[in-house]
Amino acid sequence: MTIVDFLRLLRANLLLLLAATLIGGLLGWGYSALQPRLYASESTGFLAPQATEGGVIAGGLPTDQRASSYLALTNSAAVLERVAAETGQNVAGSLTATQVEGSNLIKVTATSTDPQAAATLANTALQATADVAAEIDPQSGVKVVPLSDARAPSEPISPNTKRNILLGAVAGLLTGLGLAILRRLLDVKVRHRSDVRDITGAGVIGSVPENPSLAKKGTEAVDLDPRAGEAIRSLRTNLKFVSVDNPPRIVSFTSANPSEGKSTVASHLARALALAGERVLLVDADLRRPRQHDLFQVSGDVGLSEVLAGEVQPDDALAATGIANLTLLPAGRTPPNPSELLGSERMRALLKLASQDYFVIVDSPPVLPVTDAALLSTAVDGTVLVVRQGKTRKDHLEAAHDSLSAVDAHILGAVLNGVAASRGGGGYYGYGYEGTYHKSHDTYLKGAGSSTPKKRLGGRSAKKR
């Protein structure tokens, strides 16, 4: 995973990471709220020798060494009993004593759930330690002189709520990140351009957003939302430059499975090319589930299947779309042998003839359910795979690519369809420039409407059906 992939992962799972961090912080706060409040108070005493000759006290130990020997007395049974007797509290485990390094100072720290009780325990424990020490070693010549009395603390030492919240938030963030990475590793759907490139080895020549305007039909479909319109125009431009030395004249659009948007993409691309002045023939070669006649609101009773069967001439099957420069060859009736028709020499000859006067776009069947797309891919100049973000499975895309590669299909690239706006960081190039790239309905319809007579496959005009 590259840095770019990691940043994309963070961006795609931003809500998950924020939620996990928030939950972790709340759990840290809840843990702190359930813990008892502990207060600590500290009293300090100085071990003063009663005889200072040579700095040595009776017993032969320097004062600072004797101070360290007194530390163990603080939690001795004798001291604890005295403190319990004077305070009436159970003090087991609540007292600690330390020596200030390099000095004769000892500090007694007491903890309690009550701040005042902690101060009382600390003062009592210091005095009890001194008394017990004097009783055990009356000839020591040392006495404990209190230097500072313990005071009731204002803030508890435990729990540390801020620390627990921070630790909880960090733990939540790491958990969320782990879940995001695990989900990415286990994700079987195509999500990003990199997924398409890694599987197919082909570039993504277009990214079409998830947009309601793409569902328009007939002449209304020329008036797209600015984001959707710019995406289609970008695809149009990229397709024209995909092979500069040998530009394709016949391009098929297919997908791994049905309902991934190949027909919609093909129809809008055909409109965009026609509106740019290109003479376009859109061939609906999906003989099993034809859609182009419905997208253009024309009759689909007669079309490609009748032409290939020799029942009608190609010119008699053409349909005017109401858009200048754009002609449709519908699929016609569903034949009993679609694969044989699409793989026939008659189909190759028809496409080759049409490419002399048109830029031909072929709406091909999906690859995996039937062999039609693989057969058609050998009769066109190039094939474009339409991949639907979040729906197309990676293994299905790989299988579709392998099927096309097996027949030496020329894959021009892929179109990532149904791209969510949030995945593009405000959209792909041009999406954010609506005022610059937007074309009004009137501008799009300039030259649209009833098609003027144009040269057809056999020299006659297309019939408006």
Looking at residue 276, its amino acid is: A
Task: Give the count of domains, the chain.
Answer: 3
Residues 336 and 437 in one domain: yes
DSSP 3-state of 446 = coil
Considering the domain boundaries, does residue 454 fall inside one?
no
Pick the closest to residue 144 from 204, 79, 66, 258 (CA basis): 66
Kindly report the three-state secondary structure assignment for every residue of 165-234: HHHHHHHHHHHHHHHHHHHHHHCCECCCHHHHHHHHCCCEEEEEECCHHHHCCHHHHHCCCHHHHHHHHH
Specify the higher pLDDT residue, 279 or 36: 279
Q: What is the mean pLDDT of the chain?
A: 83
Query: Quick check: bond before 336 cis, omega within 30?
Result: no
Residues 139 and 197 in one domain: no
Is 90 exceeded by the pLDDT of residue 446? no
pLDDT of residue 68: 67
Residues 241 and 109 in one domain: no
pLDDT of residue 1: 67
Give the alpha-carbon dihedral of 384, 390, 394, 395, to 10 degrees. Answer: -100
Paired sense of beta strands 326-329 and 280-284, if any = parallel
Specify the higher pLDDT residue, 272 or 80: 272
- To the nearest whole percent, how much of the chain has pLDDT over 90? 49
Output DSSP code: residue 61.
Answer: -
pLDDT digits (tens, 9 = 90+) for 344-372: 999 999 999 999 999 999 999 999 999 89
pLDDT digits (tens, 9 = 90+) for 118-127: 888 888 888 8
Rounded CA-CA distance 156/394 in Å is: 56
Predicted confidence band at 271 (pLDDT cuts at 50, 70, 90)? very high
pLDDT of residue 223: 87
Domain with residue 196: its CATH number is 3.40.50.300
pLDDT of residue 129: 80
Is 90 exceeded by the pLDDT of residue 443? no
Residue 364 belongs to what domain range? 189-444
Residues 116 and 72 in one domain: yes
Residues 90-116, mean pLDDT to the nearest whole number: 80
Residues 283 and 405 in one domain: yes
Residues 168 and 274 in one domain: no
Rounded CA-CA distance 404/309 in Å is: 26
DSSP 3-state of 41 = strand
Considering the domain boundaries, does residue 296 fall inside one?
yes
Residues 316 and 201 in one domain: yes
Considering the domain boundaries, does residue 463 fall inside one?
no
pLDDT of residue 303: 93
pLDDT digits (tens, 9 = 90+) for 8-25: 888 888 999 999 999 999
Is 50 exceeded by the pLDDT of residue 76? yes
Is 80 exceeded by the pLDDT of residue 463? no
Predicted TM-score of the model (pTM): 0.65
